Amino acid sequence: MENNIVEKIIKLKKEKNAVILAHNYVTMDVQNVADFVGDSLALAQKAKTVEADLIVFCGVRFMGETAKLLNPETKVVLANKNAGCPMADMITADQLKDFKAEHPNSTVMCYVNSSIEVKAESDICCTSSNAVKIAKSVPEDKTILFVPDKNLGTYVAQQTKHKVIVWDGFCPVHNNNFSKIDVEKVRKNFPDYKLLVHPESLPEVFNKADIVGSTKGMADYSEENNKIIIGTEVGLLRQLEAKYPEKKFAALSEKAICVNMKKNTLKDVLNSLENETDEIIIDAEIAKRALKSIEAMLELS
Ligand code: 13P
Ligand code: SF4
């Protein structure tokens, strides 16, 4: 049955000149049919340059929207229209407008995990792999308003000299599933392993890591090293275990599962290729403003 679906996907992909982009957190069966798998930044960079008639995006909505913003001529469909990011929903454009009014003359940095309307209200966008670099490009006398992730914002504040005011948003997967008790446990059970932690985690967790980074940062580290504890959503761990069966990996917590990323199934991918749904449509005026904050980020990346 699964083989049958995979064969159909491969055939249709060719016929329709389609490209499948997938995030590191989707299930392995979906990662295996993708043309490119990566973190938010790498997926955005890929979407911008890819030449295809159709992009099928396997991830969450803000990622598909970013792909469409960067490649407006190509039809972009989200494999599963219900795959959203709860953190991106933790701030609206109106809330951001009020936040800006409370702190005039600040620079708004928005994490890419945000709506297109929020990006349109921001000065510069960032991902987890370039947040510190982007912040360092902002003049030091400027206050940074960081939205929506309080944890990544706190990490940025620790790594730069800026005054950073963070919005109270968070990723339920990283914020709620990793604690300092989990860190103590893995340190005891795997004393000679390196601990890699995503900056969407709590400061009490990322401050105890050996390396803090994006999912691509973790994948790159794993290429060269062995004995690694992965402190992010388990999809990346499954990818690394499959890619490097000879290496030793452990999870900071197996409970860290993003149900939204897991909504993308092989059946959805096939359906997207067959019916070219659900297409991402973006308001042109908002797109123009949102693109500015994304392009500003890409220039620095
Ligand atoms: P990365 O850009 O590090 O892959 O992170 C995306 C994300 O949604 C993490 O929860
Ligand atoms: Fe959003 Fe967290 Fe899922 Fe990433 S892991 S898509 S931040 S809910």
Identify the three-state secondary structure at position 277: coil
- Whether 147 and 24 share a structural domain: no
Query: Nearest bound ligand to CA 176?
Result: 2
- Whether 292 and 165 share a structural domain: yes
> Would you say residue 1 has pLDDT above 80?
no
Q: What distance lies between CA 225 and its chain's CA centroid?
A: 23
Say how many Å lie between the CA of residue 221 and the centre of ligand 2: 21
Tell me the whole-structure pTM to 2 decimals.
Answer: 0.98
The answer to whether 225 touches 195, Cβ cutoff 8 Å, is no
Letter string b/e over residues 57-77, b meaning 16 or more CB atoms within 10 A of that residue's CB:
bbbbbbbbbbbbbbbeebbbb
Instruction: Give the pLDDT confidence of 257-290 residue by residue, as tens digits.
Output: 999 999 999 999 999 999 999 999 999 999 999 9
DSSP 258-275: -TTGGG--HHHHHHHHHH
Q: What pLDDT is attached to residue 45?
A: 97
Atom number of ligand 1 nearest to Cα 214: 3
- Whether 237 and 186 share a structural domain: yes
Cα dihedral sign for 55, 56, 62, 65?
A: positive
Atom number of ligand 1 nearest to Cα 39: 4
Q: CA 126, CA 134: separation in Å to the nearest integer?
A: 7
Atom number of ligand 1 nearest to Cα 215: 3
- Whether 36 and 8 share a structural domain: yes
- Whether 181 and 161 share a structural domain: no
Say how many Å lie between the CA of residue 262 and the centre of ligand 2: 11
- Choose which residue among 58, 66, 113 to substitute to test ligand 1 binding: the one with the highest number of ligand atoms within 8 A of its C-beta: 113
Instruction: Give the pLDDT confidence of 13-57 residue by residue, as tens digits.
Output: 999 999 999 999 999 999 999 999 999 999 999 999 999 999 999
Atom number of ligand 1 nearest to Cα 236: 4
Local confidence band at 59 (pLDDT 50, 70, 90 cut-offs): very high
The whole domain housing 128 covers 88-171+285-300
- Whether 98 and 111 share a structural domain: yes
- Whether 243 and 198 share a structural domain: yes
**Would you say the CB of residue 215 lies under 6 angstroms from ligand 1?**
yes
- Whether 31 and 72 share a structural domain: yes
- Whether 80 and 52 share a structural domain: yes
Residue nearest to atom 6 of ligand 1 (CA): 40
**Would you say the CB of residue 127 lies under 6 angstroms from ligand 1?**
yes
Say how many Å lie between the CA of residue 23 and the centre of ligand 1: 8
Give the CATH number for residue 131: 3.40.50.10800
- Whether 160 and 291 share a structural domain: yes
Instruction: Give the pLDDT confidence of 200-235 residue by residue, as tens digits.
Output: 999 999 999 999 999 999 999 999 999 999 999 999
- Whether 100 and 52 share a structural domain: no
Domains in the chain, number? 3
Please, is 1 exposed, middle or buried when counting C-beta atoms within 10 Å of its C-beta (0-12, 13-18, 19+)? exposed
